[in-house]
A = this chain, B = another copy of it.
Amino acid sequence: MQVWRVNTRQKNDTIEACPQSWERLGGRGLVARILLDEVKPDCDALGKYNKLILAPGLLVGHKLSSCDRISFGGKSPLTGGVKEANAGGITALNLVSLGIKALILEDLPEDDKWFILHISKSGVRFESADDLIGLGVYQSTEILLNRYGKHVSLALIGPCGERQYLAAGIMNLDKDQNPSRIAARGGLGALMGSKKIKAMVIDAQQGEKPPILDAERYKQAQKTFTQALKDHPQTKIYHDYGTNAMPGMSDGFGGMPTRNFSAGHFEGLEKIRGETMREMLIERDGEGKPSHACMPGCIIQCSNVYADENGKTIVSPLEYETVGLLGANLGIDDLDTIARLNWECNDLGLDTIDTGAALGVAAEAGLLKFGDGKRALELIHEIRQNTILGRVLGNGAAIAGKVLGVTHVPVVKGQAMSAYEPRAIKGTGVTYATSPQGADHTAGLTIRAKVNHLDPSIQANISRNAQINMAGYDSLGACIFAGNGFASAPQTIKELITARYGWEVSDNFLEVLGKETIRLEKEFNRRAGFTSAHDRIPEWMTREPLPPNQSVFDVPERDLDNIFEDLIQKDE
């Protein structure tokens, strides 16, 4: 596996052997290692010294169920700290087929010309993107697939990434050529935009599957893992309802972010929950699909295709975080409207979480009446039109809060919280507070832990374990739900890695990988100027009780400060 470097100023590339110290890292862990080795932590995130990194996870390449995720990374334009955002789809598979361990985009162009990066066995080509600038993600995808063929994969930005909005992400094709899988968080779309790359086209036709050293051992482990995943009760739940299986549980714990995080129960719950969505899609028939795989080989198939009452696709997929942030958080209980808001965000290349949170803040400022879906669409239109208000909203909830003078802004390190209220699911609140990534449920969701989520005294350890596991999975390229299979058959991780790479790894390789990843991330953040003072839930959430539990976020600060004490401040 090789490291491909692309200089966006000089418009050239180099292909290097992978340094030894990077070899046993992948995905999120490799992003952190590269950032620490090569990017000045206090640099301007949109300046010439930041780098955009693509790193497939360690397990990527063989269509192991739910294990072909791509990590994007860089210094976050949104948080100013370390950033990794991963996505499903086929980007990682194609990169690995080309033998790419990491693709690193460096430097900044000195003019305003935009390019497409064409990546294949022949190397990297810069091709003009003039005809794509200003176009939405869907139309750009159509043009690119017509130009380069249906076999390529794409990673591209929308108008919001071009404009370097801080809530812009990077869209990736799913296995059906739909640009639906977003590396959403932390403004990496803005980072890609700063380098004037509209799209990466990855043509792996001449590529090949990565070698497996011990095919038989690998096959056995794969079989065990797949069976364990199949047998796990949650696999069927996510298959049937997608991530939108969550509203019932979140709301049941009083943790559904409602009307700009002012309540934990949403009256419109029944209308937006996955169970309702599934029935509706089945009833509507047509193009809608309650279950759909974003990656080839995935047996969970938590994705979906959401169709309107005529059976025509509105968006694919419609996920829980979007239903939470663009739905309940805006008081909107109509799935069709939420799906349309989602399509707009996808087309613009925007993180629906930070955008939904920004709209919630705008609602509190009086720019939107909670529940008014038409107005919400108008506000998204402001973003599309690049008006000043649109720019305020497209830069995410933290900026929107500052400009609009709103106190109730649900962010940590400048990044919006996902659809789990930290005052009700306090372990996830600990994750929001202490993850080097900023507020992000995927960094360590605790809602399925069988504990009292309101008890502040027990959350730190639950969050810590979740964070370490997730950092490990994010480095393997495994999706959060693949973790259910690995949790039932933990030895398969070692087996798969050893069979494929021939490495002698410990039984707790997942934990080792997770701890190392977080250690590297914390160290990058430390050098970037982060301290424990930044590992805090917003003050108003520690004071204002959340109905219906009337709970505040009251996990002791010392628990937050000590959570990774054993990992940090080691030699570097």
Contact = CB atoms under 8 A, between A and B. Distances in A.
Contact of A44 (B402, B526, B538): B538
B407 A403 contact: no
A438 to B, nearest CB: 14
Interface stretch (A274-282, A498-506, A528-536): A528-536
A459 B46 CA distance: 29
A405 B388 CA distance: 11
A405 B386 CA distance: 11
A537 B453 CA distance: 44
A320 to B, nearest CB: 29
Q: Give chain A's interface secondary structure class.
A: loop
Interface string A134-175: 000000000000000000000000000001111000000000
A223 interface: no
A399 interface: yes
A166 B163 CA distance: 25
B543 A48 contact: yes
Contacts of A46: 407
Nearest to A386: B405
A43 B539 contact: yes
Interface stretch (A232-240, A389-397, A421-429, A481-489): A389-397
Copies in the complex: 2
A336 to B, nearest CB: 29
A47 interface: yes
For chain A, give the interface size range. Answer: 35 or more
Nearest to A536: B42
Contacts of A264: none
B407 A47 contact: yes
Interface string A17-46: 000000000000000000000000111101
A41 B557 CA distance: 14
A218 interface: no
A539 B46 CA distance: 10
Interface in A380-437: 388-389, 391-392, 395, 399, 402-405, 407
A527 interface: yes
Contacts of A531: 526, 529-531
Nearest to A532: B529
Contacts of A388: 388-389, 392, 403
Contacts of A392: 388, 392, 403
A534 B529 contact: yes
Contact of A533 (B47, B164, B529, B538): B529
A49 interface: yes
Nearest to A527: B533
A20 B533 CA distance: 30
Contacts of A407: 44, 46-47
A395 B398 CA distance: 13
A47 B539 contact: yes
A534 B539 CA distance: 23
Interface in A510-565: 526-534, 536, 538-540, 543
A527 B532 CA distance: 9
Contacts of A391: 403-405
A533 B41 contact: yes
Contact of A399 (B43, B389, B399, B534): B399
Contact of A395 (B402, B528, B536): B402
A533 B540 contact: no
Nearest to A165: B405
Contacts of A389: 388
Interface of A: 41-44, 46-49, 163-166, 388-389, 391-392, 395, 399, 402-405, 407, 526-534, 536, 538-540, 543
27 contacts: A41-B533, A42-B533, A42-B536, A44-B407, A44-B538, A44-B539, A47-B407, A49-B539, A164-B405, A388-B389, A388-B403, A391-B403, A391-B404, A391-B405, A392-B403, A395-B403, A399-B399, A399-B403, A403-B403, A526-B531, A527-B533, A529-B531, A529-B532, A529-B533, A529-B534, A530-B531, A531-B531
List of 8 A-B pairs having minimum Cβ-Cβ separation, nearest first: A529-B533, A44-B539, A42-B533, A388-B389, A529-B531, A391-B403, A388-B388, A164-B405
